[in-house]
Amino acid sequence: MPRATARAATILAEFEKAESELVGKAVALTDGKAGTVENVWLDEFHGLRIAIKGHEGKWPVSTIKMAEQGSALRLEQANPPKSEG
């Protein structure tokens, strides 16, 4: 398989993996919008973009602040509560 074909196949496989991990999941964006990911696109200028149900437009996946599965635990580990006393 030529290198270009192999790279294209890798990109498509990773896109499909990202799509299956994101579509249907609840997310919050850095601009405060929140909802369920409705669709995922691969944009030649911006990379991976998502659409959220109930909000018009497409956003770069990099704007996801919090995703549904395991996000609260990761945020809690990154910012542990301060002990009182």
5-49: pLDDT as tens digits = 999 999 899 999 989 989 999 999 888 889 999 999 988 887 889
Contact of 27 with 64, CB cutoff 8 Å: yes
Domain range summary for the chain, segments of one domain joined by + = 3-70
pLDDT tens across 47-83, in order? 889 999 988 989 888 888 877 765 443 433 433 444 4
Q: Find where tokens 């499909």 sit.
A: 16
- CATH fold, domain 3-70, is SH3 type barrels. (2.30.30)
Q: What is the pTM of this model?
A: 0.67
User: How many Å apart are CA 66 and CA 70, to the nearest integer?
Assistant: 9
Residue 40 has phi, psi (to 5 degrees) of -130, 140
